[in-house]
Amino acid sequence: MMTTLNQGPKSQRMTKNQWSALESTKFEKIHSDVFSDSTQAAKAVAHEIAALIQYKSGRNQKCILGLATGSSPIKVYEELVRMHKEEGLSFKNVVAFNLDEYYGLGKEDVQSYVYFMHHHLFSHVDIDPENINIPDGTIAPNKVANYCAYYEDKIDSMGGLDFQLLGIGRTGHIGFNEPGSKERSLTRMVTLDYLTRLDNAFAFDNMNEVPKKAITMGVGTILKANRIVIMAWGLKKAEIVHKTVEGHVSADIPAAFLQRHSDVTFVMDVLAASELTRFKTPWLVGDTSWTSETSRKAVVWLSEKLQKPILKLTERDYNDHGMSELLAERSGYDVNIAMFNYFQHTLTGWPGGKPNADDSQRPERANPAKKRVIIFSPHPDDDVISMGGTFLRLIEQGHEVHVAYQTSGNIAVSDHEALLYAEFAEQFSEYLSKNDGKNKALFSKAIKLLKGKKQYKVIPEEIRKIKALIRRGEAISACRYYGLPDSHVHYLDLPFYETGRVEKAPLSGDDVTLIRNLIEEIKPHQIFAAGDLADPHGTHKVCFDAIIMALEQLKDESFLKDCWLWLYRGAWHEYPTHEIEMAVPLSPDQLIRKREAIFRHQSQKDGVMFQGEDSREFWQRAEDRNKDTAARYNALGLAEYEAIEAFKRYHF
Ligand code: F6R
């Protein structure tokens, strides 16, 4: 049998570590390999595939691969392409069968999976085009059934799949086998779940254009493969990973059928693994290393589970819930007091530090009393959505606040919104009739494009410019509402974002330089940045990486020694309570001002393009999230606030 990820040879006797590993994974019914980040994980998967291709090639055999699309395998394909180019990995003996294709899309459609596979893999390696098999989404309805039987037979006639690569949808689908799919289902036409269509809507102009049907290999087709590797990255997948790995087998979660396969590995990053018992509540499955963070996590968990404020937890509560070791050196009473004080000290109405106050128990330094602050906002509305209340307090408390919009955010403006502005500008310039005809031509071209049925692979520059200007206008309007001078608003327009497509370019030195220059110019005492790693399209993570790289380049500058970096989370998730290091309460009136600032982002209201499955608008989500944090603090026994914005310090 081929090598599998991270599985070493089986020794005869179990070591203590192996016993405790076994204990900690006792609820896991699928072997799971957890990596610290998705890049390392994807490389490990690519290396397993490469080893299999070479093993087969060495025996003059074909290597039959089942391949997936979606965001999860992109880095796997990147690594395979690199190995082909730099290490001579050949795909000559590979026969590929893709899992699925949208029904109704053909190879010319940029959203089709044929396009995806050529773009990410096939066009860059030496696979024989004859050996590429992807379900044909253009087959006539009356021929679909025969076509699916032919696809299934073709896999069987090659001797079956040696290896199947999978992602997992949040519905628990593998391939496009949505909940309800049978264990023995074969290749067939299926109807996509609403959640799946929403998750994939980012590639289309609007939800109506996302196909409703697809052709997919069945669960049975997948289970016939010799070896299966399924991948999941990011917090967004944590819940479904937990249900798949630790839950019961049922058609409600088609991925859980993988529990019945004898050679499957679930490869995930720590974020996707975070709901597994061994990470979420390690004290319930054996030895726990009681760091201060784990202790906080456990106490919050206990308090929430028993619905008791921290100060009312008893020693028996601790002992009954696998936490007796926490009491080894201290009484329950002492643990309660220490924990309560910890959370109490995270609360502050002075996010820039309280002047002339003892700051030994406060999250921020008192000095200097007037700080220079940069708020980095990945998209033009993340500043107000994620930390609008804190932003306002910093200004009102007299700090020199700058806000830097890292990307133009143009991708998220719909065509109809852009058309409104373009037609306005055209008509207004006609009215003024003073223009030299040049501007008019530009707008006329853009209007023609915006009105037409667009199938462009890259959004044309004219349109991007209009959309970017719309977002700039909205962002500065929100800043003015808060009283920030225009000169403190910086638009970085990082180049990595400007591809005109949802898929972005890799981060480059130019991106980092733009950020570094701004930090060097302002010499901030505080930087606020988005640490929201659950952003579905990864832009926040890239923007964060760019900041870290810029800080790395500046690490010898003396001003950086006085600079603290605070992270906020974006619209999608909040920090778990035990991770919060600064909690800034908002009064009801402050919350309304924050809402008004979010309202300035008109193009992002009313069913925006990248809303995800949450139908609430951004201002509603922000309010609900901030109110929820306040309620969680209150339930721990702390004071009752209307809302709280949360931050975590990042030590660089
Ligand atoms: C893709 C496929 C799907 C995806 C799943 C996860 O060929 O069959 O099952 O693997 O929807 O998609 P991502 O990876 O984009 O989260």
**In the predicted model, what is the mean pLDDT of residues 73-90?**
97
Lowest mean pLDDT segment, chosen from 205-214, 433-442, 611-620: 433-442
Q: Give the pLDDT score at 7.
A: 45
Q: Which of 586, 601, 542, 587 minimizes the C-alpha distance to 383?
A: 601
Nearest CA to ligand 1 atom 9: 175
Closest-lying ligand 1 atom to the alpha carbon of residue 67: 7
Question: Residue for token digits 């919060």?
Answer: 580
Q: Give the pLDDT score at 613.
A: 55
Nearest CA to ligand 1 atom 11: 169
Q: Give the pLDDT score at 417.
A: 87
Q: Is 310 helix (H, G, I), strand (E, B) or coil?
A: helix
Nearest CA to ligand 1 atom 12: 70
Whether pLDDT at 374 is above 80: yes
Whether pLDDT at 13 is above 60: no
Whether pLDDT at 14 is above 70: no
Whether pLDDT at 437 is above 80: no
CA of 202 from ligand 1 middle (Å) equals: 14
- Say what percent of the chain tops pLDDT 70: 91
Whether pLDDT at 223 is above 90: yes
CA-to-CA dists, residue 485 to 240, 275, 380, 402, 616, angstroms: 46, 44, 16, 9, 31
Burial label, 203 (beta-carbon count in 10 A; 0-12, 13-18, 19+): middle
Cβ atoms of 100 and 215 closer than 8 Å: yes
Retrieve residue 142's tokens.
């009356």
Question: Residue for token digits 């570590």?
Answer: 17
CA of 217 from ligand 1 middle (Å) equals: 13
Whether pLDDT at 550 is above 60: yes
Q: Which of 192, 179, 175 minimizes the C-alpha distance to 66?
A: 175
Nearest CA to ligand 1 atom 2: 175
Closest-lying ligand 1 atom to the alpha carbon of residue 196: 11
Contacts of 535 (CB under 8 A, 6+ apart): 378, 541, 570, 572
If one compares 67 and 439, the residue with the highest pLDDT of the two is 67
Whether pLDDT at 8 is above 50: no
Whether pLDDT at 611 is above 70: no
CA of 57 from ligand 1 middle (Å) equals: 29
Residue 11: pLDDT band (50, 70, 90) is very low
Whether pLDDT at 10 is above 90: no
Whether pLDDT at 644 is above 90: yes
Q: Give the pLDDT score at 534.
A: 57
Residue 293: pLDDT band (50, 70, 90) is very high
Whether pLDDT at 203 is above 80: no
Amino acid at 528: F
Report how far residue 444's alpha carbon sits from residue 423's, in angstroms, rounded to the nearest whole number. Answer: 8
- Model confidence pLDDT, tens digit, residues 492-507: 999 999 988 777 888 9
CA of 71 from ligand 1 middle (Å) equals: 7
Report how far residue 369's alpha carbon sits from residue 360's, in angstroms, rounded to the nearest whole number. Answer: 15
CA of 425 from ligand 1 middle (Å) equals: 41
**In the predicted model, what is the mean pLDDT of residues 460-472?**
92
Nearest CA to ligand 1 atom 10: 167
Neighbours of 231 (CB within 10 A): 27
Nearest CA to ligand 1 atom 8: 175
Q: Give the pLDDT score at 1.
A: 40
Q: Is 177 helix (H, G, I), strand (E, B) or coil?
A: strand
Q: Is 149 helix (H, G, I), strand (E, B) or coil?
A: helix
- Say what percent of the chain tops pLDDT 90: 76
Residue 605: pLDDT band (50, 70, 90) is confident
CA of 69 from ligand 1 middle (Å) equals: 6
Cβ atoms of 647 and 567 closer than 8 Å: yes
Whether pLDDT at 210 is above 70: yes
Q: Give the pLDDT score at 500.
A: 87
Q: Give the pLDDT score at 430.
A: 73
**In the predicted model, what is the mean pLDDT of residues 80-104?**
98
CA of 423 from ligand 1 middle (Å) equals: 39
Q: Give the pLDDT score at 429.
A: 76
Is 178 assigned a catalytic role? yes
Residue 32: pLDDT band (50, 70, 90) is very high
- Model confidence pLDDT, tens digit, residues 54-63: 999 999 999 9
Using H for helix, E for strand and C for coil, what is the string for 209-277?
HCCCEEEECCHHHHHCCCEEEEEECCHHHHHHHHHHHHCCCCCCCHHHHHHHCCCEEEEEECCCCCCCH
Q: Give the pLDDT score at 441.
A: 72
168, 196, 216, 610: which to mutate for ligand 1, most atoms within 8 A of CB?
168
Element (H, E) at 480: helix 461-481
Q: Give the pLDDT score at 2.
A: 47
Whether pLDDT at 337 is above 90: yes
- Model confidence pLDDT, tens digit, residues 119-177: 999 999 999 999 999 999 999 999 999 999 999 999 999 999 999 999 999 999 999 99
Catalytic, out of 48, 78, 101, 178: 178
Closest-lying ligand 1 atom to the alpha carbon of residue 113: 7
Q: Give the pLDDT score at 319.
A: 95
- Model confidence pLDDT, tens digit, residues 68-80: 999 999 999 999 9
CA of 294 from ligand 1 middle (Å) equals: 33
Whether pLDDT at 432 is above 70: no
Q: Give the pLDDT score at 12.
A: 47
Residue 456: pLDDT band (50, 70, 90) is low
Closest-lying ligand 1 atom to the alpha carbon of residue 177: 9
Residue 205: pLDDT band (50, 70, 90) is low
For residues 107, 110, 111, 115, the Cα torsion angle rounded to the nearest 10 degrees is 50
CA of 166 from ligand 1 middle (Å) equals: 7
Neighbours of 166 (CB within 10 A): 26
166, 215, 239: which to mutate for ligand 1, most atoms within 8 A of CB?
166
Report how far residue 105's alpha carbon sits from residue 148's, in angstroms, rounded to the nearest whole number. Answer: 16
**In the predicted model, what is the mean pLDDT of residues 292-298?**
95
Report how far residue 76's alpha carbon sits from residue 38's, in angstroms, rounded to the nearest whole number. Answer: 10
Q: Give the pLDDT score at 209.
A: 84
Q: Which of 85, 86, 84, 6 minimizes the C-alpha distance to 50?
A: 84
38, 65, 69: which to mutate for ligand 1, most atoms within 8 A of CB?
69
Closest-lying ligand 1 atom to the alpha carbon of residue 166: 10
Q: Give the pLDDT score at 20.
A: 65
Report how far residue 577's alpha carbon sits from residue 302's, in angstroms, rounded to the nearest whole number. Answer: 13
The predicted model scores a pTM of 0.82
Q: Which of 523, 641, 535, 514 minimizes the C-alpha distance to 588?
A: 641
72, 228, 233: which to mutate for ligand 1, most atoms within 8 A of CB?
72
Residue 191: pLDDT band (50, 70, 90) is very high
Whether pLDDT at 537 is above 70: no
CA of 593 from ligand 1 middle (Å) equals: 40
Report how far residue 642's alpha carbon sits from residue 635's, in angstroms, rounded to the nearest whole number. Answer: 13
- Model confidence pLDDT, tens digit, residues 409-426: 998 888 888 888 888 888
Whether pLDDT at 570 is above 80: no
Q: Give the pLDDT score at 3.
A: 43
Contacts of 208 (CB under 8 A, 6+ apart): none
Which residues, judged by CB distance below 6 Å to any ligand atom, belong to the binding site of ligand 1? 68-72, 99-100, 167-169, 173-176
Whether pLDDT at 389 is above 60: yes
Residues recorded for the chain: 652
Report how far residue 287's alpha carbon sits from residue 277's, in angstroms, rounded to the nearest whole number. Answer: 13
pLDDT, mean over the chain: 91
Closest-lying ligand 1 atom to the alpha carbon of residue 73: 14
45, 67, 99: which to mutate for ligand 1, most atoms within 8 A of CB?
99
